[in-house]
Amino acid sequence: MFRTLVRWYDLAMSRCFDRLRSPLLLLLRLVFGWGLFQTGKGKLENIGRFIDFLTHLHIPMPAANAYFVASLECAGGLLLLLGLASRLICIPLTVNFIVAYLTADHDAVVNFFKDQDAFTSAAPFLYLLVSLLVLAFGPGFFSIDEVIGRMRRRKA
Q: Could you state, in order of their start, the residue ranges of all structural domains in the chain?
A: 22-155
User: What confidence category does residue 40 fall into, taking pLDDT thresholds of 50, 70 and 90?
Assistant: very high
Cα 60 to Cα 40: distance, rounded to the nearest angstrom: 20
> What predicted TM-score, i.e. pTM, was given to this entire model?
0.90
CA dihedral 71, 76, 82, 87 (to 10 degrees): 150
Containing 139, the helix (H) or strand (E) segment is none
Q: Where are the alpha helices (DSSP H) in 57-143?
A: 62-82, 86-104, 106-110, 116-121, 124-137
CA proximity to 75, closest of 49, 48, 37, 129: 37
Mean pLDDT on 33-38:
98
